[in-house]
Structure 1
Amino acid sequence: MRIDLPDGQWADLLEPSDMRSGDLKAYRAAVPADDNPLTVGILDAMKDELLRRVIVAWSLDLPLPKDLPGTPEEAGSLDRVPIPVYKVLEDAIEPHVALINADPDPKSLPESAGTSKASRSSSKTTSST
């Protein structure tokens, strides 16, 4: 999906429905495993990880974020875009984030997923000793 950026620029993003489990896992992996609360910096890191995965083309005079993710010594592409452009990109991935954060409807899960009492009891084995 193409989005318009300030100053006549554009970016092509994957449709949320085209994301894969690796995108979800990478987004979640940006969260530290400790018990600290989420901070703005952590949320920014999560968004940047997702942006690196869903931006597939853009008209900016910078490498794609996936090609220049950045290091502690060198700013990545997303760190070099003007703030107004970054804010548009942030807004554009709201549907992607919503899909990742959506709770599955328990009614849509198959009963064969091993969560029902019937499936647990039917898997018991008995011993003849």
Structure 2
Amino acid sequence: MSESGVFAFELGDELATRCGNTLTGVFVPGSRIALSAYRHVTHSSRDAPTETAGQDPVLIYMAQESTLFDEPVLRSVLAEANATFATLQQLGSRATRAEYVNISRAYRSIVRSCLEKLEQAKKSPEVQTDEARLQR
């Protein structure tokens, strides 16, 4: 757990660690999600390669639908996040600022809860020890 009391998690590869363990994902054909590390860029960031660019390979983790739904933690976060996004779609442009704030808080709560569950699962002896399962 970090100093702020919020659980943190890590991808574990060198590039992800150097990038501050930030993660990006893209939906790809075949019900898959491609996950990789990235460096967060803001409006005040300098638009130039970092001093460590090209030192580590970029690892892309492919998560398939069957993989996601086999994991209880991921299955719950997908279901809860889907409900939040469905609510947003139903509200559309007629939503008030207060409704957007409530939805934002609910979504952040979902993500925080998932990260806490992942942190607890990481400490479990059963976590991802099966090599065949990792190769899916």
TM-score, length of structure 1 as denominator length: 0.26
TM-score (norm 2): 0.25
